[in-house]
Amino acid sequence: MGPGGISPWSLLLILVIVLLLFGTKKLRNVGSDLGGALKGFKGAMNEGEKEAKSAKDSLESDEADESADASTAQREQVDDKDKPKSGS
């Protein structure tokens, strides 16, 4: 028995019936169309992953810039407190 309880002879019989009904030319066209669709889907997935990665890198860069700005602001506040007041 094969997958799902279907014997290899049953699968072969189904294949022969499908070939007789549709013909090899139509099945070849369906196969090439399916292959093209899968290739397009794979390309779109790779493009989406690249966009997600660049967005993540950009977000991490922005967070690093904000952290650096916050550190600079804290340093300036500390420096202002340490400076002696003049004029009085």
Per residue in 21-56, pLDDT (tens digit) is: 888 888 889 889 999 999 999 999 999 898 888 888
Which residue ranges make up each domain of the chain?
Answer: 34-80
Is the pLDDT at 20 greater than 70? The verdict is yes
Looking at the whole model, is its pTM more than 0.85? no
Average pLDDT of span 7-26: 89
How far is it, in rounded angstroms, from Cα 78 to Cα 60? Answer: 27
pLDDT for the residue numbered 40? 94
How far is it, in rounded angstroms, from Cα 10 to Cα 68? Answer: 69
* Upper half-sphere CA count for residue 60 (Cβ side, 13 Å): 6
Q: What is the pLDDT of residues 55-70, one digit of tens each?
A: 888 877 777 666 666 6
